[in-house]
Chain A
Amino acid sequence: MIAMNFKRVAAIMLRQFYLYRGSPVRVVPLFAWVTVDIVLWGFITKYLNGIASPGFNFIPALLGAVLLWDFFIRVMQGVTMAFFEDVWSRNFLNIFATPLSISEYIAGLVLSAIATSSVGLVVMLVLASLVFGLSFLVYGALLIPFLLALFLFGIALGIFACGMVLRFGPASEWLIWPIPAVLSPFAAVFYPLSTLPGWMRVISRALPASYVFEGMRTIVAGGALSGTTLAASNLLALAYILLASWFFTRIYYQAVRTGLIARYSAESVS
C-alpha cells in the first residue's frame, strides 16, 4: 500500500479551486446544463402526466431518471475536466517531475469531481423538487445507494477517460465527451431493460447504472427492490474504479517509458 501525502492531494484540489474562482466560464457549466435538462424534462413529464391515463406519475420515473443520469455525467466530467486542465496548460512535465504519486493525483482528481458534481446535484435537487414537485420520499433511503453507485461508476469512467487521453494525446478529448451518450441506451435510463434486445441486455448487465434505473422504476411502480442487486451494482462500480485506476497507471508508466509525458503535446513519440 502506497502512503499518500494529503498536502499533494489538496494541492490538486486547490489548483481547481483557483481556476474556478478566477473564471466564471468554468463555473457556469457546473449548473447551466443540468438546469436546462431539468427544466426541459420537467415540462415533458408534466405534459405526459396530463395526457397519460391517471395512476402513473412520470415525474419520479422520468425526471428522477434525468436527475440521476445528469449527476453521473457531472461526476465523470468532474474527473476529466480536472485532468484536462493539465492537458490544456501543458503541465504534465511540471507536475510529474514532483514527488506526486499516481494515487495522489487520482485522489486529487476524484475529490475535485466530488466538489464540482455536488454543485450540479444541489441545483438539480432544488429545481426538481421546488419547481416540478419531485418528491424524494418516493425513493426513500434507497436514493443514497442509487447516487453512490452512479457516483462510483462516474469516477471509474472519468479515470478511464483520463487514461485514454493520456494514451492518445490531447486531440482524443473529443472521444471522451460522447461516452455518456453512447452508454445511455444500455443503461436503460428511460425504459425497462426488457425493452432491449438480448445482446444489448448483456452489455447492460455489465453497467452499474442499469441496475440503478431498473431499481428506481421498480420502486416507483410500487415493487420491492432486492438489496443484493443494489449492493452488487455498487460493488461492480467499485471494481470498475480499481480497473480504471490500473488502466490509468499502466498508461502513465508506458508514457514514462516512451517519453510521451515529457513531450505530450506531440501526441505520440513515433
Chain B
Amino acid sequence: MSPVLSVEDLRKLYGEAVAVDGISFEVGRNEIVGLLGPNGAGKTTTINMVLAVLEPSGGKIFIEGIDIAEYRARALEYTNFAAVYAPLPGNLTVYQNLRFFGMMYAVKQLRDRIEALLEQFDLQRFRDVKCGVLSSGEQTRVGLAKALINDPQLLLLDEPTASLDSATARDIRARIRENTARGTAGVLWTSHNMYEVEEVCDRVLFLSRGKILLEGDPKTLPGQHGKETLEELFVTVAREPLTLERV
C-alpha cells in the first residue's frame, strides 16, 4: 500500500541557518508517526512545509502520491491539521467555524458531518458559543473537530493535547487512535509528552538540529539505545545528540 505522506530529502534554510536538513520519511496507512525532538529541532517547520504554508528550500513532499509543490490544492484536500498555536477565530461560534472550514474543504453533506463531529467531541452544548469564550481544552476539541471535518487521509497534529487535562487527553488519544484504525488515514503527531507518544504512536522519528537522528518503535527504541524510558532517550537527544549519532 502506498504511503499517505512521503517526504524526500526535505530542506529548509533561513539564510545560512539550517532549520531542516534533508530529512526523508513516510507515514503509512493506519499509522500514527510521532515527530519528536527538543524545541527548535525542526518539527513545526516540517509540519508547516507539509501544509504548504512554508516553501521548502529543497526536497519533495507527496500527499497521497500528489506532489504538493505542483498540485497544492489537490494535495491539501486530503490533509488537515490541529495545533495549539493556530486556534480557530474566536469571533465565530463552534458551528460557524466548522461550517466555514467544511466549505473550505468542499465537504459533502456538511451538516451531517458537523453534527457527527459535535457529538464525537462532546461539543453539542457549545454549538452556538463563540470559540473565543471556550476554555483552552474546549477550544482544543473544536480544533480537533475542524481537523477531522474533511475526514483527512493525512492528519497533522502539533501537540494536540498540550492544554488538556489528563482524562480529556486520554479520551482524545483514544478517539484519534480509533479514527486512524478505522479508515485508511495516517497521522503525523508531535508531542513533548513521552507517555502519550508511547501510548499513541506506532513509530517515532527523533529530530535534532533539523535531522532525523533515530527512528523506530517507541516501546523498543529506548532499550536499543541503552535507555530505560522514552523520556530518558528524549533528554539524551535534546542534550547530547552527538552521542546518539554514533550509535
B104's contact among A89, A92, A98, A257, by CB below 8 Å, is which?
A98
**Among residues 1 to 56 in chain A, which have CB atoms less than 8 Å away from a CB atom of chain B?**
5, 7-8, 10-11, 14-15, 18-19, 22-23
Residue of B nearest to A254 (CB): B55
Known: A18-B96, A99-B76, A261-B53. A11 touches B103 (CB 8 A): yes
A10's contact among B90, B103, B105, by CB below 8 Å, is which?
B103
- Residues of B with C-beta under 8 A to A90: 86-87
Is there a chain A Cβ closer than 8 Å to B106's Cβ?
yes
Q: How many residues of B contact A (CB 8 A)?
A: 36
A98 touches B92 (CB 8 A): no
Residue of A nearest to B107 (CB): A7
Interface string of B188-207 (1 = CB under 8 A from A): 00000000000000000000
Q: In the complex, what's the smallest C-beta–C-beta distance from A212 to chain B, in angstroms? A: 36
Is there a chain A Cβ closer than 8 Å to B54's Cβ?
yes
CA–CA, A85 and B89, complex, Å: 9
**Among residues 90 to 133 in chain A, which have CB atoms less than 8 Å away from a CB atom of chain B?**
90-101
Is there a chain A Cβ closer than 8 Å to B39's Cβ?
no
- Residues of B with C-beta under 8 A to A91: 88-89
**Among residues 24 to 82 in chain B, which have CB atoms less than 8 Å away from a CB atom of chain A?**
44-45, 48, 51-55, 72-74, 76-77, 79, 81
- Residues of A with C-beta under 8 A to B73: 5, 99-101
A14 touches B99 (CB 8 A): yes
CA–CA, A5 and B130, complex, Å: 27
A18 touches B92 (CB 8 A): yes
CA–CA, A90 and B83, complex, Å: 13
CA–CA, A90 and B90, complex, Å: 10
B54 touches A256 (CB 8 A): yes
Interface of B is mostly: mixed
Residue of B nearest to A19 (CB): B91
Residue of A nearest to B15 (CB): A270
Interface string of A218-257 (1 = CB under 8 A from B): 0000000000000000000000000000000000010011
B77's contact among A15, A94, A99, A259, by CB below 8 Å, is which?
A99
- Residues of B with C-beta under 8 A to A23: 91
A97's contact among B51, B87, B96, by CB below 8 Å, is which?
B51
Is there a chain B Cβ closer than 8 Å to A269's Cβ?
yes
Is there a chain A Cβ closer than 8 Å to B126's Cβ?
no
Is there a chain A Cβ closer than 8 Å to B121's Cβ?
no
Identify the interface centre among A8, A93, A97: most chain B CB within 10 Å of its CB: A97
Q: In the complex, what's the smallest C-beta–C-beta distance from B86 to chain A, in angstroms? A: 5
Known: A14-B100, A89-B90, A259-B48. A97 touches B54 (CB 8 A): no
Is there a chain B Cβ closer than 8 Å to A262's Cβ?
yes
Known: A98-B76, A99-B73. A11 touches B104 (CB 8 A): yes
A95 touches B48 (CB 8 A): no
By a beta-carbon cutoff of 8 Å, the part of chain B in contact with chain A is 14, 44-45, 48, 51-55, 72-74, 76-77, 79, 81, 83, 85-93, 96, 99-101, 103-106, 130, 146
9 A-B pairs with CB atoms under 8 Å apart are: A7-B106, A15-B92, A15-B96, A93-B85, A94-B86, A100-B73, A101-B73, A259-B54, A269-B14
